Amino acid sequence: MNYINNTLLSLRASSPAQDEFYQAVEEVLCSLAPVLESNRLYQQQAIIQRIVEPERQIFFRVPWVDDKGNIQVNKGYRIEFNSALGPYKGGLRFHPSVNASVIKFLGFEQIFKNALTGLPIGAGKGGANFDPKGKSDNEIMRFCQSFMTELYRHVGPNTDVPAGDIGVGAREIGYLFGQYKRLTGRYEGVLTGKGLLWGGSLVRKEATGYGTVYFADYMLNDRKENLQGQTCLVSGAGNVAIYAMEKLYQLGAIPVGCCDSSGTLYHQGGIDLTLIKTLKEDKRVSLAEYLHTHPSAIYTPVADYPTGQHALWQYTADAAFPCATQNEITKTDAETLIANGCKLVSEGANMASTQDAVECFIDSGIAYGPGKAANAGGVATSQLEMAQNASMQRWTFEDVDKQLMRISKSIYQQASETARTFGQPNNLVLGANIAAFKRVADAMIEQGVV
């Protein structure tokens, strides 16, 4: 469609060298063609041209002093993408790969993910090209304090409510919140993912991983199956992957593989999750240490990966849960998974598969849950934390988990029903994109040209 192509060309001209952002936008816009054709008002109101441009982009330097007394400088970002449905909501990522393109793609995806939850939250994303690995607690504290010294003027409980993401866990959120409170003198729900002692919500740590697994189970239930007895590959070894594996075990599945930035671990009898939690949450060491306790497991360092492929996806399993980072499953990886009998992929990471990999999954007819739908449980539970903060209440683990299950099921139903409405029942990418777009676009029209 000409206006979609023109929008993509215009975006490349106005936002050069942002490949991840282009990929995210193109995937969404191409799937919106049916709804744009059936409702000309979206074209008349220039919704496409407006939705791909952030409402506000904030870039800033983050100077800090390391333990040797040297001054370091990083670049900080906060992209406030769309507030049609509520305050900006989305995580902060601290990782060397962070740049404007990555943050914009994540913020754009967040628009649709947040809309699918049905909750009153808009979309934003932020972070810095800072690597917490190898840094002392004091260095991380000083960095977080410097980062919040700029960010605090742009955020607030009814304006923009950041959360954690890669490299930003409870420790970092604590340092960020402490500096916000120090600068503003206010104790309020400006961040989610807080410690349980001071406003955090039960289930928040587990939510993204749990929700990704709930979504997978709903996909299988529609096919008269479930996760009981299924072998699973789960990429990553952070919060999302760990708690996806925990929920898989609870539902009777068997995670047999995971990975970190150093390599891939495969344990045919089932991953020892207690040991993984010790290695990654307590000791913060490589998965290679797993072999000291389980010598029969197989560990493949990154240097030994097949060219252009990820070692994890070479193993045979019934289901795959990419929970690490964007574009971690390539077309070749997708073809290998399908050839090995994989019948389900549920993305715990955002845009975890390349576009040609996604097409492989959809064409093959396997159950495929795109990240914006499958992993939306994390941001949904962040909003539940906001609700608890606003009402000065603390909900039980069971209450929050039930709401997470309900929201995950609702997201699946929206995506599935919309896909069927548009004649592509196996295409949850199309279903999720259209269902989310309609909610945001209709709100934007009702609020005028702003």
Cα separation, 212 vs 76, whole angstroms: 29
CATH number, domain of 322, equals 3.40.50.720
Query: How much is the pLDDT for 58?
Result: 98
Q: Of 445, 348, 447, 440, whose CA–CA distance to 118 is shortest?
A: 440
Whether residue 4 has pLDDT greater than 90: no
Query: SS in 3 state form for the chain?
Result: CHHHHHHHHHHHHHCCCCHHHHHHHHHHHHHCHHHHHHCHHHHHCCHHHHHCCCCEEEEEEEEEECCCCCEEEEEEEEEEEECCCCCEEEEEEECCCCCHHHHHHHHHHHHHHHHHCCCCCCEEEEEECCCCCCCCHHHHHHHHHHHHHHHHHHCECCCEEEEEECCECHHHHHHHHHHHHHHHCCCCCCCCCCCHHHCCCCCHHHHHHHHHHHHHHHHHHCCCCCCCCCEEEEECCCHHHHHHHHHHHHCCCEEEEEECCCEEEECCCCCCHHHHHHHHHHHCCCHHHHHHCCCCCEEEEHHHCCCCCCHHHHCCCCEEEECCCCCCECHHHHHHHHHCCCCEEECCCCCCECHHHHHHHHHHCCEEECHHHHCCHHHHHHHHHHHHHHHCCCCCHHHHHHHHHHHHHHHHHHHHHHHHHCCCCCCHHHHHHHHHHHHHHHHHHHCCCC
Q: Which residue(s) pair with 161 in the sheet?
A: 89
Same domain, 218 and 352: yes
Kindly report the average pLDDT of the chain as a whole number.
97
Assess whether 223 and 183 both reside in one domain.
no
Residues 220 and 111 in one domain: no
Give the residue from 308, 339, 369 where a domain finishes: 369
Residues 181, 57 within the same domain = yes
Domain boundary among 188, 220, 242: 188
Phi and psi angles of residue 272, each rounded to the nearest 5 degrees, phi first = -80, 95
Number of domains making up the chain: 2
Choose the final residue of a domain: 339, 369, 399. Answer: 369
Q: Is the pLDDT of residue 2 over 90?
A: no
- The question of whether 125 is a catalytic residue gets the answer yes
Binning pLDDT at 50, 70 and 90, where does residue 392 land?
very high
Q: Which two tokens stand for residue 419?
A: 């896909």
* Catalytic residue (choose from 125, 205, 280, 372): 125
How do residues 72-101 score in pLDDT, each as one tens digit?
Answer: 999 999 999 999 999 999 999 999 999 999
Looking at the fold, whether 142 and 12 belong to one and the same domain comes out as yes
- In terms of domains, do 116 and 171 share one? yes
Closest by CA position to 362, among listed 443, 425, 292, 270 = 425
Is residue 403 a part of any domain in this protein?
A: no
Mean predicted confidence (pLDDT) in 3-15:
91
Segments forming the whole domain that contains residue 160 = 2-188
359 and 210 share a domain? yes
- Residue with token string 């929008």: 7
**Residue 75: CATH number of its domain:** 3.40.50.10860
The label of the residue with tokens 């949904």 reads 380
Identify the band that residue 38 occupies on the pLDDT scale cut at 50, 70 and 90. Answer: confident
| pLDDT for res 37 | 86
Residue the block writes with tokens 């001209």? 13
**Both 181 and 211 in a single domain?**
no
Same domain? 49 vs 10: yes
Instruction: Tell me phi and psi for residue 424, to 5 degrees.
Output: -130, 70
pTM comes to: 0.94
Query: Which pLDDT band holds residue 166 (cuts at 50, 70, 90)?
Result: very high
Average pLDDT score over residue span 117-126: 98
Contacts (Cβ under 8 Å, ≥6 apart) of 284: none
Residue 418 domain-assigned? no
Query: What was the pLDDT predicted at 88?
Result: 98
245 with 344, same domain: the answer is yes
Structural domain contains residue 7: yes
Contact 294, 258 (CB under 8 A): no
pLDDT range class, residue 308, cuts 50, 70, 90:
confident
pLDDT for residue 1 is more than 70: no
